[in-house]
Amino acid sequence: MTTLLEVSGVSVSFDGFRAINNLSVQFAEAELRAIIGPNGAGKTTFMDVVTGKTKPDEGRVIWGEKNISLLGMSESEIAMEGIGRKFQKPTVFEDQTVRQNLAMALKNPRGPFAVLWHKRTKANGARIEAIAEQIGLTAQLTRIAGELSHGQKQWLEIGMLLAQEPRLLLVDEPAAGMSVEEREKTTNILREAAKTRAVVVVEHDMEFVRRLGCKVTVLHEGSVLAEGSLDHVTRNQKVIDVYLGRGHA
Ligand SMILES: Nc1ncnc2c1ncn2[C@@H]1O[C@H](COP(=O)(O)OP(=O)(O)OP(=O)(O)O)[C@@H](O)[C@H]1O
Ligand SMILES: [Mg+2]
Protein backbone atom coordinates (compact mmCIF):
# COMPACT_ATOMS: atom_id res chain seq x y z
CA MET A 1 0.00 0.00 0.00
CA THR A 2 1.57 3.29 -1.10
CA THR A 3 0.91 6.27 1.15
CA LEU A 4 -0.43 9.25 -0.76
CA LEU A 5 -0.96 11.66 2.14
CA GLU A 6 0.55 11.54 5.59
CA VAL A 7 -0.60 13.89 8.32
CA SER A 8 1.59 13.58 11.36
CA GLY A 9 1.45 15.28 14.76
CA VAL A 10 -0.61 18.20 13.44
CA SER A 11 -2.13 20.73 15.86
CA VAL A 12 -4.27 23.78 15.08
CA SER A 13 -5.35 26.28 17.71
CA PHE A 14 -7.93 29.04 17.43
CA ASP A 15 -7.50 31.58 20.25
CA GLY A 16 -5.91 28.93 22.46
CA PHE A 17 -8.54 26.27 21.67
CA ARG A 18 -7.05 23.14 20.08
CA ALA A 19 -9.36 22.28 17.18
CA ILE A 20 -6.80 19.75 15.89
CA ASN A 21 -4.72 18.07 18.57
CA ASN A 22 -1.62 16.10 17.60
CA LEU A 23 -3.50 14.49 14.70
CA SER A 24 -1.84 11.69 12.77
CA VAL A 25 -3.65 10.00 9.88
CA GLN A 26 -2.62 8.47 6.57
CA PHE A 27 -4.33 7.84 3.26
CA ALA A 28 -3.33 5.42 0.53
CA GLU A 29 -3.53 5.88 -3.21
CA ALA A 30 -6.93 5.05 -4.72
CA GLU A 31 -8.43 4.63 -1.27
CA LEU A 32 -11.98 5.49 -0.24
CA ARG A 33 -12.14 6.71 3.39
CA ALA A 34 -14.96 8.05 5.52
CA ILE A 35 -14.32 10.46 8.37
CA ILE A 36 -16.97 10.67 11.06
CA GLY A 37 -17.19 12.29 14.47
CA PRO A 38 -19.24 14.73 16.53
CA ASN A 39 -19.76 18.40 15.66
CA GLY A 40 -16.62 20.36 16.34
CA ALA A 41 -14.37 17.26 16.17
CA GLY A 42 -12.12 19.01 13.65
CA LYS A 43 -13.22 17.26 10.45
CA THR A 44 -13.57 20.41 8.36
CA THR A 45 -10.47 21.94 9.93
CA PHE A 46 -8.54 18.81 8.90
CA MET A 47 -9.59 19.47 5.30
CA ASP A 48 -8.63 23.15 5.72
CA VAL A 49 -5.13 22.06 6.77
CA VAL A 50 -4.66 19.63 3.86
CA THR A 51 -5.83 22.20 1.30
CA GLY A 52 -3.66 24.97 2.76
CA LYS A 53 -6.52 27.16 3.95
CA THR A 54 -5.38 26.83 7.57
CA LYS A 55 -1.74 26.57 8.61
CA PRO A 56 -1.08 24.26 11.56
CA ASP A 57 0.93 25.35 14.60
CA GLU A 58 2.93 22.15 14.48
CA GLY A 59 3.18 18.84 12.65
CA ARG A 60 3.80 17.64 9.13
CA VAL A 61 1.66 17.14 6.05
CA ILE A 62 3.54 15.02 3.50
CA TRP A 63 2.30 14.38 -0.02
CA GLY A 64 3.05 11.88 -2.78
CA GLU A 65 5.94 9.57 -3.60
CA LYS A 66 8.38 12.48 -3.47
CA ASN A 67 7.35 13.21 0.14
CA ILE A 68 6.63 16.87 -0.54
CA SER A 69 5.61 19.02 2.43
CA LEU A 70 2.34 20.82 1.74
CA LEU A 71 2.85 23.21 4.63
CA GLY A 72 4.85 25.82 2.75
CA MET A 73 2.47 25.82 -0.19
CA SER A 74 -0.41 28.14 -1.08
CA GLU A 75 -3.95 26.86 -1.66
CA SER A 76 -3.56 27.10 -5.43
CA GLU A 77 -0.19 25.33 -5.39
CA ILE A 78 -1.76 22.50 -3.39
CA ALA A 79 -4.65 22.30 -5.87
CA MET A 80 -2.07 22.08 -8.68
CA GLU A 81 -0.47 19.14 -6.85
CA GLY A 82 -3.73 17.27 -7.41
CA ILE A 83 -5.79 17.85 -4.29
CA GLY A 84 -9.40 18.78 -5.02
CA ARG A 85 -12.01 19.80 -2.49
CA LYS A 86 -15.76 19.85 -2.59
CA PHE A 87 -17.45 22.22 -0.20
CA GLN A 88 -20.92 21.60 1.19
CA LYS A 89 -22.68 24.20 -0.91
CA PRO A 90 -22.50 23.51 -4.66
CA THR A 91 -20.66 26.23 -6.55
CA VAL A 92 -21.53 25.54 -10.18
CA PHE A 93 -22.02 28.29 -12.77
CA GLU A 94 -25.81 28.53 -12.62
CA ASP A 95 -26.36 30.29 -15.94
CA GLN A 96 -24.18 27.90 -17.95
CA THR A 97 -25.16 24.47 -19.24
CA VAL A 98 -23.89 21.27 -17.65
CA ARG A 99 -21.62 20.78 -20.67
CA GLN A 100 -20.20 24.32 -20.37
CA ASN A 101 -19.57 23.82 -16.66
CA LEU A 102 -17.63 20.61 -17.33
CA ALA A 103 -15.75 22.19 -20.25
CA MET A 104 -14.59 25.05 -18.03
CA ALA A 105 -13.40 22.62 -15.40
CA LEU A 106 -11.24 20.52 -17.72
CA LYS A 107 -7.62 20.75 -16.84
CA ASN A 108 -5.77 23.35 -18.87
CA PRO A 109 -2.38 22.50 -20.32
CA ARG A 110 0.65 23.75 -18.45
CA GLY A 111 4.29 24.35 -19.28
CA PRO A 112 6.03 22.25 -21.95
CA PHE A 113 2.88 20.28 -22.68
CA ALA A 114 1.04 23.32 -23.93
CA VAL A 115 1.76 22.21 -27.52
CA LEU A 116 -0.65 19.37 -26.92
CA TRP A 117 -3.45 21.87 -26.38
CA HIS A 118 -4.88 21.43 -29.86
CA LYS A 119 -5.16 17.67 -29.49
CA ARG A 120 -6.62 18.08 -26.04
CA THR A 121 -9.34 20.40 -27.30
CA LYS A 122 -10.49 17.71 -29.71
CA ALA A 123 -10.48 15.14 -26.93
CA ASN A 124 -12.44 17.40 -24.61
CA GLY A 125 -15.82 16.44 -26.04
CA ALA A 126 -15.19 12.79 -25.31
CA ARG A 127 -13.94 13.56 -21.82
CA ILE A 128 -16.97 15.70 -21.03
CA GLU A 129 -19.22 12.84 -22.08
CA ALA A 130 -17.24 10.33 -20.02
CA ILE A 131 -17.48 12.53 -16.93
CA ALA A 132 -21.20 13.17 -17.50
CA GLU A 133 -21.69 9.41 -17.64
CA GLN A 134 -19.71 8.99 -14.41
CA ILE A 135 -21.90 11.49 -12.55
CA GLY A 136 -25.17 10.34 -14.14
CA LEU A 137 -25.86 13.62 -15.98
CA THR A 138 -25.60 12.47 -19.60
CA ALA A 139 -29.24 13.36 -20.25
CA GLN A 140 -28.74 16.80 -18.66
CA LEU A 141 -25.69 17.97 -20.66
CA THR A 142 -27.58 20.72 -22.50
CA ARG A 143 -29.55 21.88 -19.49
CA ILE A 144 -28.81 25.10 -17.63
CA ALA A 145 -27.13 24.18 -14.34
CA GLY A 146 -29.41 26.53 -12.38
CA GLU A 147 -32.37 24.29 -13.28
CA LEU A 148 -30.84 21.14 -11.82
CA SER A 149 -31.99 19.61 -8.54
CA HIS A 150 -29.80 20.06 -5.46
CA GLY A 151 -28.45 16.52 -5.86
CA GLN A 152 -27.71 17.00 -9.55
CA LYS A 153 -25.80 20.23 -8.79
CA GLN A 154 -23.72 18.35 -6.24
CA TRP A 155 -22.91 15.66 -8.83
CA LEU A 156 -22.02 18.32 -11.38
CA GLU A 157 -19.62 19.85 -8.92
CA ILE A 158 -18.09 16.43 -8.25
CA GLY A 159 -17.77 16.05 -12.04
CA MET A 160 -16.06 19.44 -12.29
CA LEU A 161 -13.57 18.33 -9.65
CA LEU A 162 -13.01 14.99 -11.43
CA ALA A 163 -12.31 16.94 -14.63
CA GLN A 164 -9.25 18.35 -12.86
CA GLU A 165 -8.03 14.78 -12.37
CA PRO A 166 -7.17 15.10 -8.69
CA ARG A 167 -5.17 12.36 -7.01
CA LEU A 168 -7.01 13.15 -3.80
CA LEU A 169 -10.57 14.38 -3.56
CA LEU A 170 -11.89 15.75 -0.25
CA VAL A 171 -15.66 15.85 0.12
CA ASP A 172 -17.37 17.51 3.11
CA GLU A 173 -20.91 16.31 3.93
CA PRO A 174 -22.10 15.50 0.39
CA ALA A 175 -25.37 13.87 1.51
CA ALA A 176 -26.76 16.93 3.31
CA GLY A 177 -30.09 17.96 1.81
CA MET A 178 -30.28 14.96 -0.51
CA SER A 179 -33.14 12.50 -0.95
CA VAL A 180 -32.54 8.82 -0.16
CA GLU A 181 -32.31 8.06 -3.87
CA GLU A 182 -29.82 10.90 -4.44
CA ARG A 183 -27.71 9.66 -1.54
CA GLU A 184 -27.52 6.21 -3.07
CA LYS A 185 -26.39 7.64 -6.38
CA THR A 186 -23.81 9.78 -4.60
CA THR A 187 -22.26 6.79 -2.84
CA ASN A 188 -22.00 5.02 -6.19
CA ILE A 189 -20.30 8.05 -7.79
CA LEU A 190 -17.79 8.35 -4.94
CA ARG A 191 -17.04 4.61 -4.85
CA GLU A 192 -16.42 4.65 -8.59
CA ALA A 193 -14.22 7.78 -8.36
CA ALA A 194 -12.13 6.14 -5.62
CA LYS A 195 -11.06 3.36 -7.98
CA THR A 196 -8.63 5.73 -9.66
CA ARG A 197 -7.85 8.27 -6.91
CA ALA A 198 -8.11 8.69 -3.16
CA VAL A 199 -11.47 10.01 -1.98
CA VAL A 200 -11.98 11.20 1.61
CA VAL A 201 -15.58 11.80 2.65
CA VAL A 202 -16.77 13.53 5.82
CA GLU A 203 -20.35 12.53 6.54
CA HIS A 204 -22.75 12.31 9.50
CA ASP A 205 -25.27 10.02 7.78
CA MET A 206 -24.39 6.51 8.97
CA GLU A 207 -26.46 4.82 6.26
CA PHE A 208 -24.43 6.76 3.72
CA VAL A 209 -21.17 5.73 5.38
CA ARG A 210 -22.30 2.10 5.46
CA ARG A 211 -23.00 2.19 1.73
CA LEU A 212 -19.54 3.63 1.06
CA GLY A 213 -18.27 0.31 2.46
CA CYS A 214 -14.80 1.61 3.29
CA LYS A 215 -12.39 2.15 6.18
CA VAL A 216 -13.65 4.70 8.68
CA THR A 217 -11.68 7.18 10.79
CA VAL A 218 -13.46 8.59 13.85
CA LEU A 219 -12.28 12.05 14.92
CA HIS A 220 -12.92 13.43 18.38
CA GLU A 221 -11.47 16.60 19.90
CA GLY A 222 -9.05 16.93 17.03
CA SER A 223 -7.52 13.44 17.23
CA VAL A 224 -8.24 9.96 15.88
CA LEU A 225 -10.45 8.14 18.39
CA ALA A 226 -10.85 4.93 16.40
CA GLU A 227 -10.17 3.58 12.93
CA GLY A 228 -11.16 0.49 10.95
CA SER A 229 -14.27 -1.00 9.36
CA LEU A 230 -17.59 0.64 10.20
CA ASP A 231 -18.57 -2.43 12.24
CA HIS A 232 -15.29 -2.23 14.12
CA VAL A 233 -15.58 1.46 15.04
CA THR A 234 -19.29 1.32 15.85
CA ARG A 235 -18.59 -1.42 18.42
CA ASN A 236 -16.01 0.81 20.14
CA GLN A 237 -17.47 2.01 23.46
CA LYS A 238 -15.66 5.37 23.28
CA VAL A 239 -17.16 5.99 19.82
CA ILE A 240 -20.61 5.09 21.14
CA ASP A 241 -20.15 7.44 24.10
CA VAL A 242 -18.98 10.52 22.18
CA TYR A 243 -20.87 10.11 18.92
CA LEU A 244 -23.19 7.20 18.14
CA GLY A 245 -25.03 7.39 21.45
CA ARG A 246 -25.90 11.01 20.64
CA GLY A 247 -28.29 10.44 17.77
CA HIS A 248 -25.94 9.40 15.00
CA ALA A 249 -26.55 5.64 15.23
N1 LIG B 1 -11.73 29.85 11.85
C2 LIG B 1 -12.03 29.43 13.08
N3 LIG B 1 -11.93 30.26 14.15
C4 LIG B 1 -12.21 29.84 15.39
N5 LIG B 1 -12.63 28.60 15.69
C6 LIG B 1 -12.77 27.73 14.67
C7 LIG B 1 -12.48 28.09 13.32
N8 LIG B 1 -12.71 27.00 12.52
C9 LIG B 1 -13.12 26.03 13.35
N10 LIG B 1 -13.16 26.45 14.64
C11 LIG B 1 -13.52 25.64 15.80
O12 LIG B 1 -12.76 24.45 15.74
C13 LIG B 1 -13.53 23.32 16.14
C14 LIG B 1 -13.55 22.29 15.02
O15 LIG B 1 -14.39 22.78 13.99
P16 LIG B 1 -14.66 21.99 12.65
O17 LIG B 1 -15.47 22.88 11.79
O18 LIG B 1 -13.38 21.48 12.10
O19 LIG B 1 -15.53 20.76 13.17
P20 LIG B 1 -16.30 19.64 12.35
O21 LIG B 1 -15.80 18.32 12.87
O22 LIG B 1 -16.19 19.89 10.89
O23 LIG B 1 -17.80 19.83 12.86
P24 LIG B 1 -19.20 19.66 12.06
O25 LIG B 1 -19.52 18.20 12.11
O26 LIG B 1 -20.15 20.46 12.88
O27 LIG B 1 -19.03 20.20 10.67
C28 LIG B 1 -14.91 23.86 16.52
O29 LIG B 1 -14.94 24.04 17.90
C30 LIG B 1 -14.96 25.18 15.79
O31 LIG B 1 -15.79 26.08 16.46
MG1 LIG C 1 -17.53 20.35 9.40
Alpha carbon 189 to its chain centroid, in Å, reads: 12
Q: What is the mean pLDDT of residues 60-86?
A: 95
Give the C-alpha separation, 206 to 230, whole Å: 9
Any atom of ligand 1 within 6 Å of the Cβ of 142: no
pLDDT at 205 over 60: yes
Per-chain mean pLDDT for the chain: 92
Query: How close is the Cα of 113 to the center of ligand 2, in Å?
Result: 38
Whole-number pLDDT of residue 110: 41
At 67, the pLDDT band (50, 70, 90 cuts) reads very high
Global pTM reads 0.93
Give the C-alpha separation, 62 to 183, whole Å: 32
Any atom of ligand 1 within 6 Å of the Cβ of 43: yes
Q: Which CATH class is domain 3-246?
A: alpha beta
pLDDT at 227 over 80: yes
pLDDT at 43 over 60: yes
* CA 20 to ligand 1: nearest atom: 14
pLDDT at 219 over 90: yes
Give the C-alpha separation, 62 to 71, whole Å: 8
| 135-161 tens-digit pLDDT | 999 999 999 999 999 999 999 999 999
pLDDT at 111 over 60: no
Any atom of ligand 1 within 6 Å of the Cβ of 136: no
